[in-house]
């Protein structure tokens, strides 16, 4: 997104456009880094979960077809 924002700032002559979002992004990154350490997600992926096994389920037989239409 940075190249797009830089281009918009240059074209619209608005040098502080989206500054608020950039500061929020920095705050979020700092918050997430601290939270990630507490959750012990320091780059380790959880072990792969077992794949569900396909189970064959018998289908009910189709309903009998009427020979004559209802009156």
Give one DSSP letter per residue of the chain, joined into a string: -HHHHHHHHHHHT-TTTTHHHHHHHHHHHHHHHHHHHHHT-SSPPPPPPPPPPP---PPPPPPPPPSS---
Predicted confidence (pLDDT) per residue in 2-19, tens digit = 888 889 989 999 888 888
d(CA 61, CA 39): 52
pLDDT at 59 over 60: yes
Residue 55 confidence (pLDDT): 76
Which pLDDT tens digit goes with each residue over 31-52? 998 888 887 665 666 666 777 7
How far apart, in whole angstroms, are the C-alpha atoms of residue 30 and residue 9?
26
The answer, as to whether pTM is greater than 0.95, is no
């Amino acid at each position: 997104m940075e190249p797009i924002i830089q281009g918009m700032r240059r074209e619209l002559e608005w040098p502080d456009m989206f500054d608020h979002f950039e500061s929020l992004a920095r705050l979020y990154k700092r918050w997430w880094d601290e939270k990630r350490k507490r959750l012990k997600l320091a780059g380790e992926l959880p072990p792969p979960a077992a794949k569900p096994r396909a189970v064959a389920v018998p289908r009910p037989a189709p309903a009998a077809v009427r020979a004559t239409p209802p009156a």
